[in-house]
């Protein structure tokens, strides 16, 4: 198991180098550079422009810039943001808890609803519930996230006034220093009355928007996996023991059906991050997604490269984690059979 | 009083192609402490009949019977929750594919202990003691170590032993074994059958053995029911059945046994079991029967008397030759 893990870890190294290269090139292919964006349309003397470029190291040949960049990363240095002059690492990890909070909530939302819904649909195959759920899941999977987000804001926040429109908490009513960076936890720690409830209110819509695609995928996956498992011999054995239907389905069948579902959940962390970029932008959620979008606008090369690298690293690590978890729920993998 | 009494059992499946009667008017009586074999080729409805008794058929199956009594209880009127109290406790079943019948996600110990917890309310320590005892009883060496084993770590024969241990856990009065040795190696087959028979002797339970292997029947069963295409075509004690089969189908099955062959080519029964769409109007076996006459093709045959093995035939055989009123036709 440990050797298997280390092998997988080693395999991620080339992935990282490819990533470094692609992010580096991709952003430089976009017209405009950080200096031009900052100067804007007012114009500036060519001497000043050259001076700015030299300060940022942009006058160097591209291959040299790349080598400097790789050298920095190998030393754990992702550089400084061109806009704020803060270390990219520091900025990223200040904002990252907000993204984790949102992604985690969205994933909880998707699994807690998706798995039981898919399982029930499989047990009641062909029923109205099954047909409705499968219809909804196609819709949920196909819907553009930004459109769905705007729709919910219009309906739930604007029309019905059930939730706030954007942000993580009402900054006029509540203020406290971040301790963990997770708003829900910080709100609890702050001892301010109503702060937790307010933070929760702010979380609901973004959570639903970001969780919709995974919800659709998980529900479908659980259903099809469950259908397969329900016709297995060991399910009949469980019934032959006189176990209750709840135990037969909820334990014997579901445990087996979840094996592929866990893989899907793990692999969807990548697309979750992509969704987080859109969701955070729509809801002004101050996480790394929104930060990256802003970095693109400002051509903040180090921030963008560093941010993408760090997110990729996290996605790759989560996938590794899923591999390990897979072994925990599937004994056949654990014992190397 | 009979342990299990089933009268006129029919099972109909609602399929896309219409209704399919897998079991048609079958009577099964099992006395306490007896070994009954139900014989027939694939598709004869022998497993379906027993799954119906266990209540394990899918919801697409309609089960009807004039009587369905187990140990004095009417299985048809019991609520599902009450029926589950019998299933796995007083009446249990093992299946053809031991490897796929065990849940790959749980240890052997857990799977055996589950019935003990559900039916007998045993705590963890009691379950462990009883599980070890059961594993020992079914001939598994080093039971302590096997408790933590997962099914994929067991061989086929070992899996079937675990299945048997599971089925025996609550000391059932009736064990239904659905082709328990078919999926196993020949040497293991004999071991499993011997184990079943000796366990039956030890515990005093009754055993219903579903099989297509007449050799197995001869070695283990006291009484035999022969099924063909969902109908029961003959039933009798084992020894007279082997000595003088009355239904041409039974006769054909026995003649096909290599031990009984008289010529260099093994005799076979030509044709196939009729399916859903080609059921004959008269006797279901008539298209394959060497002795079939005109009436056999048009009118379903009556049941012969007990002396003739209740053979479902117009012209039951005696010493391999047809007799009776249809003989002249």
- Residue A42's SS3 state is coil
The per-residue b/e assignment along B166-204, b for 16 or more CB within 10 angstroms, e otherwise, is bbbbbebbbbbbbbbbebbeeebbebbbebbbebbeebe
User: What are the tens digits of pLDDT across the range B171-192?
Assistant: 999 999 999 988 888 888 888 8
Cβ–Cβ below 8 Å for B105 and A255: yes
- Residue A104's SS3 state is helix
Q: Does A232 touch chain B (CB under 8 A)?
A: yes
User: What are the tens digits of pLDDT across the range A59-91?
Assistant: 888 888 888 888 888 888 888 888 888 898 899
Q: What angle do CA B36, B37, B38 make, to 5 degrees?
A: 120
Q: Whole-angstrom Cα distance, residue A302 to residue A294? A: 13
pLDDT at position A297: 85
Mean pLDDT of all residues in A83-104: 89
Mean pLDDT of all residues in B118-125: 94
- B-chain CB neighbours of A252 within 8 Å are 103, 105-106
Q: Does A252 touch chain B (CB under 8 A)?
A: yes
Of A71-85, A101-115, B208-222, the range with the highest mean pLDDT is A101-115
- As a 3-state breakdown, chain A gives helix, strand, coil percent values, each rounded to 5, of 75, 0, 25
Cβ–Cβ below 8 Å for A256 and B84: no
Q: Does A241 touch chain B (CB under 8 A)?
A: yes
What is the distance, to the nearest Å, from the Cα of residue A306 to the centroid of all Cα atoms in its chain? Answer: 17
Mean pLDDT of all residues in A282-293: 91
pTM > 0.80: yes or no: yes
Q: B113: nearest CA in chain A?
A: A241
User: How many percent of chain A have pLDDT more than 90?
Assistant: 38
- Which of B92, B101, B151 is best to mutate for the A interface (most A CBs within 10 A)? B101
Residues 94-153 of chain A with CB under 8 A from chain B are none
Cβ–Cβ below 8 Å for B118 and A241: yes
Mean pLDDT of all residues in A114-126: 94
Nearest C-alpha of chain A: how many angstroms from B273?
25
Give how far Cα A225 sits from Cα of A4, A37, B134, Å.
Answer: 26, 51, 34
Nearest C-alpha of chain A: how many angstroms from B107?
9
**pLDDT at residue A37 tops 80:** no
Kindly write down the DSSP assignment for every residue of B13-51, as one continuous string.
EEETTEEEEEEEEEEEEE-TT-EEEEE--TTSSHHHHHH
Q: What is the mean pLDDT of chain B?
A: 89
Helix locations, chain B, DSSP H = 46-54, 80-86, 98-101, 108-120, 124-137, 143-146, 156-168, 186-203, 214-220, 238-243, 248-255, 294-298
- B-chain CB neighbours of A243 within 8 Å are 84, 88, 114, 118
What ipTM did this prediction achieve?
Answer: 0.88
CB A66 within 8 A of CB A149: no
- B-chain CB neighbours of A122 within 8 Å are none
**pLDDT at residue A301 tops 80:** yes
Mean pLDDT of all residues in A16-24: 86
Q: Whole-angstrom Cα distance, residue A286 to residue B89? A: 60
Mean pLDDT of all residues in A132-161: 92
Q: Does A246 touch chain B (CB under 8 A)?
A: no
User: What are the tens digits of pLDDT across the range B39-69?
Assistant: 988 878 889 999 999 999 988 899 999 999 9
> Residue B56: which of A240, A244, A332 has the nearest Cβ?
A240
pLDDT at position A337: 42
Element (H, E) at B68: strand B67-70
More confident: B7 or A191: B7
pLDDT at position B327: 43
**pLDDT at residue B329 tops 60:** no
Taking the alpha carbons of B209, B214, B215, B218 in that order, is the dihedral positive or negative? positive
Q: What is the mean pLDDT of chain A?
A: 87
> Residue A233: which of B88, B95, B167 has the nearest Cβ?
B95
pLDDT at position A270: 82
> Residue B92: which of A234, A240, A329 has the nearest Cβ?
A240
**pLDDT at residue A286 tops 60:** yes
**pLDDT at residue A194 tops 90:** no
Cβ–Cβ below 8 Å for A332 and B152: yes
CB B67 within 8 A of CB B55: no
Q: Does A330 touch chain B (CB under 8 A)?
A: yes
**pLDDT at residue A162 tops 70:** yes
User: What are the tens digits of pLDDT across the range A323-335?
Assistant: 777 777 777 766 5
Mean pLDDT of all residues in A279-283: 92
Mean pLDDT of all residues in B138-148: 91
B232 CB-contact burial (10 Å; exposed 0-12 / middle 13-18 / buried 19+): buried
> Residue B150: which of A242, A244, A335 has the nearest Cβ?
A335
């Amino acid at each position: 198991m440990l050797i298997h893990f280390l092998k997988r870890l080693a395999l991620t190294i080339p992935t990282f180098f490819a990533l470094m290269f692609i992010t580096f090139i991709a952003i430089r292919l976009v017209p405009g550079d950080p200096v031009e964006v900052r100067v804007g349309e007012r114009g500036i003397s060519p001497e000043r422009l050259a001076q700015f470029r030299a300060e940022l190291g942009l006058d160097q040949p591209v291959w040299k810039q790349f080598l400097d960049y790789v050298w920095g990363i190998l030393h754990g240095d992702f550089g400084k943001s061109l806009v704020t002059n803060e270390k990219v690492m520091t900025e990223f990890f200040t904002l990252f808890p907000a993204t984790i909070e949102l992604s985690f909530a969205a994933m909880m939302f998707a699994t807690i609803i998706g798995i039981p819904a898919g399982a029930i649909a499989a047990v009641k195959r062909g029923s109205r519930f099954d047909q409705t759920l499968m219809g909804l899941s196609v819709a949920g999977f196909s819907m553009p996230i930004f459109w769905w987000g705007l729709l919910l804001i219009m309906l739930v926040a604007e029309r019905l006034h059930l939730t706030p429109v954007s942000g993580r908490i009402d900054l006029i009513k509540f203020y406290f220093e971040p301790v963990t960076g997770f708003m829900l936890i910080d709100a609890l720690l702050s001892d301010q009355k109503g702060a937790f409830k307010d933070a929760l209110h702010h979380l609901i819509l973004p959570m639903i928007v970001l969780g919709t695609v995974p919800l659709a995928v998980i529900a479908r996956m659980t259903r099809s996996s469950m259908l397969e498992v329900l016709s297995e011999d060991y399910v009949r054995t469980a019934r032959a023991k006189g176990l209750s239907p709840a135990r037969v389905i909820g334990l014997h069948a579901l445990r087996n059906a979840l094996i592929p579902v866990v893989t899907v959940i793990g692999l969807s962390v990548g697309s979750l991050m992509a969704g987080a970029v859109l969701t955070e932008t729509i809801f002004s959620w101050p996480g790394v997604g929104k930060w990256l979008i802003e970095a693109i606008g400002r051509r903040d090369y180090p921030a963008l490269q560093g941010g993408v690298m760090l997110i990729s690293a996290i996605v790759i690590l989560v996938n590794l984690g899923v591999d390990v978890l897979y072994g925990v729920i599937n004994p056949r993998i654990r014992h190397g059979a | 009083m009979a342990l299990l009494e089933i009268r006129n059992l029919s099972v109909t499946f609602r399929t896309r192609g219409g209704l399919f009667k897998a079991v048609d008017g079958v009577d099964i009586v099992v006395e306490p402490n007896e070994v009954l074999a139900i014989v027939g080729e694939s598709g004869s409805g022998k497993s379906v009949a027993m799954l119906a008794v266990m209540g394990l058929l899918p919801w697409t199956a309609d089960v009807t019977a004039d009587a369905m009594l187990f140990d004095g209880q009417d299985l048809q009127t019991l609520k599902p929750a009450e029926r589950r109290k019998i299933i796995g406790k007083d009446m249990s079943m093992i299946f053809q594919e031991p490897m796929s019948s065990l849940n790959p996600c749980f240890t052997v110990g857990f799977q055996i202990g589950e019935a003990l917890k559900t039916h007998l309310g045993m705590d963890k320590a009691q379950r462990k003691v009883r599980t070890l005892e059961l594993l020992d009883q079914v001939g598994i060496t080093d039971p302590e170590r096997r408790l933590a084993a997962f099914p994929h770590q067991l061989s086929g024969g070992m899996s079937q032993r675990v299945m048997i241990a599971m089925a025996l856990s609550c000391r059932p009065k009736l064990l239904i074994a659905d082709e328990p040795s078919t999926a196993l190696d020949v040497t293991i087959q004999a071991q499993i059958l011997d184990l079943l028979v000796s366990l039956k002797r030890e515990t005093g339970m009754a055993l219903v053995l579903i099989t297509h292997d007449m050799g197995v029947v001869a070695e283990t069963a006291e009484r035999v029911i022969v099924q063909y295409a969902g109908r029961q075509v003959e039933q009798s004690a084992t020894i007279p059945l082997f000595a003088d089969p009355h239904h041409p189908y039974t006769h054909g099955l026995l003649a096909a046994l290599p031990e009984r062959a008289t010529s260099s080519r093994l005799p076979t029964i030509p044709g196939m079991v009729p399916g859903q769409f080609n059921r004959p109007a008269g006797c279901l076996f008539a298209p394959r029967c060497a002795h079939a006459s005109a009436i056999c093709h048009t009118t379903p045959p009556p049941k012969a008397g007990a002396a003739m093995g209740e053979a479902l035939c117009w012209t039951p055989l005696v010493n391999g030759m047809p007799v009776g009123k249809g003989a002249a036709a």
